[in-house]
Structure 1
Amino acid sequence: MGLTSNTVLALAVLAGVLLFGGTVWLWPRLARRGVRPVAGRIGLLLVTQVAVFAAVGLVANQSFGFYASWADLFGQEDGQGVVVDHTGATGAPLTVTGTRRVAQAGGALPRTAGQVQEVRLVGRNSRIATPAYVYLPPEYFQSSHRDRKFPAAIVLTGYPGTAKALVDKLNYPSTALKLARAGRMRPMILVMLRPTVAPPRDTECVDVPGGPRTETFFARDLPEAVGAHYRVDARPGGWGVVGDSTGGYCALKFAMHHPERFGAGAGLSPYYKAPIDPTTGDLFHGDEGLRRRADLWWCLDHLPAPDTSLLVTSSKVGETNYQETLEFIDRAKRRGPTRVSSIILDSGGHNFNTWRREIPATLEWLGERLDSGSRNG
Structure 2
Amino acid sequence: MQPQPRPRATRTRALLGAAATLALAAALAGCGSGGSSAGDAKAALGGHAGGASGSATPSAAQSSTQPPKPSRILMPTGPAADLRKARDTAAGPILMTTVTGAKSGVSGKVWVWLPPQYNDPKYAKHGFPVLTLYAGGQSAGYNTWTDNQLPIEEINAQMAAEGKAHPFIMIMPVQNLDSSEAKALECSDIPGQPKMGTWMSQDIPDFVRANFRTVKGRDGWAVMGASTGAFCSAKLALQHPDVFKAAVPIDGYWNPDSPLWKGHDQERLANSPDVLVGEGKADVRMLATAGGANAYETKLVKNWVAKAKAPLTVEYYEQPGGKHLTADFKKMIPTTLEWLTKNTAGPESDG
Using the size of structure 2 for normalisation, the TM-score is 0.72
SS in 2 for 1:168: coil
Q: How far apart in 2 are the matches of 1:177 and 1:262?
A: 22
Contact map agreement 1:194 1:247 (CA 8 A) in 2 = no
Structure 1: segments with no counterpart, 5+ residues: 1-91, 106-113
Q: Is this contact kept in 2: 1:309–1:339, CA < 8 A?
A: yes
Supply the distance in 2 between the matched residues of 1:164 and 1:95 (Cα, whole angstroms): 22
Is residue 159–residue 194 contact of structure 1 (8 Å, CA) maintained in 2?
A: no
- Kindly tell me: are residues 284 and 255 of structure 1, through their superposed partners in 2, closer, same or farther at Cα, counting changes over 3 Å? farther
* Greater shift in the superposed pair: 367-376 or 167-176: 367-376
Deviations 1:135-182 (CA, angstroms, capped at 9, x unpaired):
101111011211110010110101124315533210011111111111
Aligned Cα root-mean-square deviation (Å): 2.0
In structure 1, distance between residues paired with 2:262 and 2:204: 23
Alignment correspondent of 2:32? none
Where in structure 2 are the equivalents of 1:1-377 lying within 5 Å?
Answer: 94-98=81-85, 100-103=87-90, 105=91, 114-161=92-139, 162-200=142-180, 201-275=183-257, 280-283=258-261, 285-286=263-264, 288=266, 290-301=267-278, 303-318=279-294, 320-332=296-308, 335-375=309-349
**Partner deviation per Cα, 1:49-93 (whole Å, 9 max, x = no partner):** xxxxxxxxxxxxxxxxxxxxxxxxxxxxxxxxxxxxxxxxxxx78
> What is the one-letter code of the residue matched to 1:94?
A
Question: 4+ runs of 1 displaced by more than 6 Å?
Answer: none
Q: Do 2:291 and 2:323's aligned partners in 1 also have CA atoms closer than 8 Å?
A: yes
CA contact (8 A) 2:136 2:226 kept: yes
- Letter aligned with residue 298 of structure 2: Y
Find the residue that maps to 2:83 and give its secondary structure.
strand
User: Larger Rg: 1 or 2?
Assistant: 2
Deviation per residue, 1:289-319 (Å, 9 max, x gap): x121222222233x33311111111122236
Higher RCO by CA contacts (8 Å cutoff, separation 6 or greater): 2
What stretches of structure 2 of length at least 5 have no aligned partner?
1-78
Does the CA-based 8 Å contact 1:154-1:191 persist in structure 2? Answer: yes
Moved more, 204-213 or 191-200: 191-200
Provide the TM-score with structure 1 as the length reference: 0.67
SS of equivalent residue, structure 2 residue 102: coil
Task: Judge conservation of contact 2:185–2:260 (CA < 8 Å) in 1.
Answer: no
Tell me if the contact between 1:148 and 1:231 (Cα under 8 Å) persists in the aligned partners: yes
> Could you tell me whether the CA contact under 8 Å between 2:228 and 2:253 is conserved in 1?
yes
Give the aligned length.
Answer: 269
